[in-house]
Structure 1
Amino acid sequence: MYTCLIVDDENKSIETLSKILLEYCDNKVQILGIANNIDEAYPLILSLKPNIVFLDIEMPFGSGFDLLEKFDKIDFQVIFTTGFDQYAITAIKFSALDYLLKPINIQEVKDAVAKAIRNIESRQLNDNFKILLENLRKPKNTTNKIPLPVINGLELVQIDQIVHCQADEDYTHLFLKDGTKKVVTKSIKDFEELLTEYGFFRIHHSFLINKFYIKKYTKGEGGSVITELDTEIPVSRRRKVEFLQWLNEL
């Protein structure tokens, strides 16, 4: 059996999560303790050494991210829990880490626990916390890094190095400034959600483009753009008006 610690300042959330872990996770996880803030959580993690920490993001007297900053090395799995905080959620997604959105859902808890256990059994610790904390210090900065789930692992790439993304069924091809291409096991919709606020626009159902690399727009039924890599990409007729408005606002 694996062990966990719950860090949350809301008793209702603690009760809900505890009940789900006890009743729906097949006795795979034992709750070692509960902390209501980071000052309580830090010594408990050091002494109890849980395999998994369920970590609320928004708490009085310090956030869940502040707690992680206290550790030189994070040798436990973290599953974040949060209300609607879009920026925090985006940062967590960028770092390829897990989170539960309140109110907590039974199936999402089961899935997150199963993934954490797989990581523990394969001795795969989360090495993406540094990326997460760096990105949080630089909100909406195009030099932020994103971990890409490529075929043989994870690869870190700066956002400002991505010229455009192209859909390929359940995969996405990322074309980088240096002319290289990465094949990533995420859909283009995932990248649209992550990158839109960083200056990317979905100009076609198959293409997402970085505004910093648009060299030219050519008129037509939908038209097309030429990138700094001299790649011509079609603009869908449906997105043309919105795209041109977006382009004129840059």
Structure 2
Amino acid sequence: MNLTRAVSAVALVSLFGIGCGEPLPGAEGKATPQVAPELLSQSSALSTTIYNGYPVTVSGGLGSVQTFYLVNPAPAEKLSFTLRGGTGDADVYVKRYAEPTFTDYDCVSDAVGNTENCVYTTGVEDDQPYYVVVYGYEAYSNVTLHAYYSHPLALATTVTPNLNQLSRTVYEVDVPAGKKRLQVTATQSFGQSGAFKVYVRQGSAPAVPSAVDCTADSATLPAVCSIINPVAGKAYVMVEGVGNVTSFNLRVDALTK
């Protein structure tokens, strides 16, 4: 199969509302993958189910193909598929409604190494299947595949997440330069109930349990996470329901002292 490696993220966003993440140096020089069609078919038949907000660790050999299936992403402004960490070099292909191939996909991220991003920025639908192929451009090991939908959250604005047990939701915050503290506060008012956890990470969504900058939970209210001298840019707040029905108030502030 042939694959044009120099994919334009701008074209993908304009046509599909989908972006391919960082066009890192060297990505365009990678050779075309050569995988027999029957290998793709076998991989699709053995798809592994993944869940919103729950990362999985993947490893594979040179030329290996693994297929993953995301169950029931909720309606959201953004749906992200990322690879991070580990060793070697794996690439990601994503398609909605059907398994991607090397010639038929919504998004491909094929940077050198394992920093890969495929992001749907519009039209994230409820009850629709999303399929991910992880291809071993080189042998790779202990790489984190993470799929999650996220919502923008303005600073100093209170939202009220409603979570089921073990469900996770991510909020994306823009942190200005020059702030001394990023503070995430969760409280419960009269009539709200349920146990929950809060995870905060700068730069990427929290990949619990290993990649988290700060954690708080409802055992002590208010639940507060503070990051001193936060880096300007994106910060991500993930909330997880521990009880069957969870309702609480969430607010993020960037403070000057």
Please report the TM-score for the alignment, with normalisation by the length of structure 2.
0.23
Larger Rg: 1
- Structure number with greater CO (CA < 8 Å, separation at least 6) is 2
**Which has a greater percent of strand?**
2
**Which has a greater percent of helix?**
1
Please report the TM-score for the alignment, with normalisation by the length of structure 1.
0.24
